[in-house]
Amino acid sequence: MDHRAALHAILRRAHSGELTAALAYRGHWLSLRREDEIAEIRRIEAEEWHHRRRLRVMVLELGSGPDLYLESRMALLGLVILIGCNMVGWFIPMYFAGRLESQNDREYEEAAAHAEALGLGELHGELKAFAQLERDHEAYFLRKVAGHPALPFWKRWFHWGPP
Ligand SMILES: [Fe+2]
Ligand SMILES: [Fe+2]
């Protein structure tokens, strides 16, 4: 298995994915009214920008730059979500943020495993921390949607949510 190529591919994908996430969270907190929720989603947005900055450095260190085609597609998707968040009420952005976060940690765990196989200890540690932070993000949204009357409907179709 070519760990370097696999790691490189995941990091480039994640770098663009974090752009979508950060833009989506910008739209998300702009749609909110409660001060505490605005502050919480702004913090998550800042954490995704931080991931993106670090991923950019990692990709450059592995010898390439961001995938510009993917960057433009993911930017567009982020902008669509940014606008969309302001049209669909409170629950749907909270639910789908959590559902997306539930998949993000796997990507970083996979990247961390490749880094470990390559003997890149520091990178491994940082990617493990990224995975943990994505799990913390998911846990936040699980708490937010728990007990909401719309939850059973969405959970049935999209298979994510608190027990
Ligand atoms: Fe992230
Ligand atoms: Fe996240």
Distances (CA, A) of 6 to 29, 31, 110, 128: 34, 37, 9, 16
Q: Which ligand is nearest to the CA of 107?
A: 1
Q: What is the mean pLDDT of the chain?
A: 97
User: What pLDDT does residue 145 have?
Assistant: 98
Cα of 89 to ligand 2 centre, how many Å? 21
Specify if 163 maps to a domain.
Answer: no
Q: Which ligand is nearest to the CA of 141?
A: 2
Closest CA to 98 of 129, 132, 137: 137
User: What pLDDT does residue 48 have?
Assistant: 98
User: Average of pLDDT values for 74-97?
Assistant: 97
User: What pLDDT does residue 100 have?
Assistant: 94
Q: Which ligand is nearest to the CA of 17?
A: 1
Specify if 150 maps to a domain.
Answer: yes
Specify if 48 maps to a domain.
Answer: yes
Domain boundaries, position 139: 3-158
Q: Which ligand is nearest to the CA of 52?
A: 1
User: Average of pLDDT values for 145-154?
Assistant: 97
Specify if 93 maps to a domain.
Answer: yes
Cα of 151 to ligand 2 centre, how many Å? 21
Per cent of the chain over pLDDT 90 is 98
Specify if 97 maps to a domain.
Answer: yes
Q: CB atoms < 10 A from the CB of 98, how many?
A: 21
Radius of gyration of the chain (CA): 16
Q: Is 90 exceeded by the pLDDT of residue 111?
A: yes
Cα of 116 to ligand 2 centre, how many Å? 22
Number of domains comprising the chain? 1
User: Average of pLDDT values for 27-56?
Assistant: 98
Q: What is the CATH number of the domain that holds 65?
A: 1.20.1260
How far apart, in whole angstroms, are the C-alpha atoms of residue 73 and residue 27? 17
Q: How confident is the model at residue 1 (pLDDT cuts 50, 70, 90)?
A: confident
Specify if 8 maps to a domain.
Answer: yes
Specify if 105 maps to a domain.
Answer: yes
User: Average of pLDDT values for 60-83?
Assistant: 96
Q: Is 90 exceeded by the pLDDT of residue 67?
A: yes
